[in-house]
Amino acid sequence: MNFFKRFVSPSGRASPDESVRALLKAAERGAIEEVRHLLELGTDVDTADKRCRSALMFASWKHHLEVVRYLLDEGATVNAQDSSGTTALILALGGEDWKKMEIYGQIDASAMEIGSALISTDRAGVSLYDRNGRTALMIAAWCGSLPLTEALIGRGADVNAALSKSIADLDVFPGNAPRGRYRPGDFVKTLATREGCTALMMASARGHVDIVRSLLRAGADPTVNSGGCARDVANSVLEIVKENLVAFTERERAEQLTAYRQIVLSLDAATAAWKPAVAQAAFIEAECPACRTKHALFPDDTNQLNCTCGAVFVVDRGTRTARITPPQ
């Protein structure tokens, strides 16, 4: 009890400022007994510091699951935003630092547990934007977390929410290859970091096949265009992977080529369903001579598309016909 002697007066009450600091520090350290005691003394569960960060935000940020669950049980406000617009959910997922996500591009197990606990509450606002103009679904899609993506979708996350401002300095490394294995200029700056991009574009850029399919099943619009659509993003990264002989081993390169080709194929099918009747009447149906897979090629698409088997489709915009080159 030595900790409490510094904050509690002989009457058993702590001064407001002292109790606030004590609660926030205890939450940040994961000291569940201290947190419980301070709330029992009457400290407001939603009390915050000068940056408007609450105990739930600190506990979520530091991945203290027991403290997060206790604060939620005590009625902590899940959707509270700090002075920069960041929520406890965004902090839990490590999304405050884009550059960290650029390098590691993943959500660890402890973050997943915290995120799941926050999402599971009926009062969670899963489509709120943070200061970087992103939602939690965009972070999940970027990092390749299928369980979190589906949990957010299940809670009603907006699958077509768009990035509200561009991320100027973020590099997209195709296939999640370690950064050190890329030469200068090998990285891709794609439409997936521009204002107006969606979670679908981010997942397409990163090569997360299952997340692309999950988003499409949930109603993600593959035709959203912020200078290019999701399939343009996937195609551009596919070409980089095909040409890059340094970043991948032979096996990794083959795996990444397969993943991006599957994404392109999934987006092909989804785009055909989303195109209005006028556009559908104009598309060219081309059949791969190698595997007989049918592709819908629209006049406003990129000139070159790719089949999962490796065949290349070249569209002639003038005649609206497709020339198919079988894999070598």
- Closest-CA residue to 265 (of 228, 311, 227): 311
For the segment(s) 1-77, the CATH number from 1.25.40.20, 1.10.10.60, 3.40.50.1860, 3.40.50.720 is 1.25.40.20
Mean pLDDT of the chain: 76
Domain pair 1-77 / 86-274, same fold: yes
This prediction has a pTM of 0.74
pLDDT the model gives residue 111: 84
Contacts 24+ apart (CB under 8 A), 245-251: 246/181, 246/182, 246/183, 246/186, 247/173, 247/174, 247/175, 247/177, 247/181, 247/182, 247/186, 248/175, 248/177, 248/181
Say if CB 27 and CB 59 are below 8 A apart: yes
Query: Which pairing describes strands 321-325 and 312-316: parallel, antiparallel, or unpaired?
Result: antiparallel
Q: Which residue intervals of the chain are DSSP H helices?
A: 2-5, 16-29, 32-40, 55-61, 65-73, 88-92, 98-104, 109-119, 136-143, 146-154, 199-206, 209-217, 230-243, 250-274, 277-282
Predicted confidence (pLDDT) per residue in 109-144, tens digit? 888 889 889 988 866 778 888 877 888 899 888 888
Class of domain 86-274: mainly alpha
pLDDT above 80: residue 93: yes
- CA–CA separation, 132 and 163 (whole Å): 8
Predicted confidence (pLDDT) per residue in 179-233, tens digit? 445 443 444 555 667 788 899 998 988 889 999 999 999 999 998 887 778 888 8
Instruction: Kindly list the domain boundaries of the chain, sorted by start residue.
Output: 1-77, 86-274, 275-328
Q: Confidence class of residue 313 from pLDDT cuts 50, 70 and 90?
A: low
Predicted confidence (pLDDT) per residue in 39-64, tens digit? 999 999 999 999 899 999 999 999 99
Which of 8-12, 68-72, 139-143, 240-244 shows the lowest mean pLDDT across its residues?
8-12
- CA–CA separation, 201 and 221 (whole Å): 10
Pairwise pLDDT comparison (264 vs 11), residue with the higher score: 264
pLDDT (mean) for 92-102: 62
pLDDT (mean) for 308-315: 69
Contacts 24+ apart (CB under 8 A), 153-158: 153/214, 153/215, 153/218, 155/119, 155/124, 155/126, 156/126, 156/127, 157/126, 157/127, 158/127
User: Is residue 305 helix, strand or coil?
Assistant: strand
pLDDT the model gives residue 305: 65
pLDDT the model gives residue 73: 94
- CA–CA separation, 320 and 220 (whole Å): 28
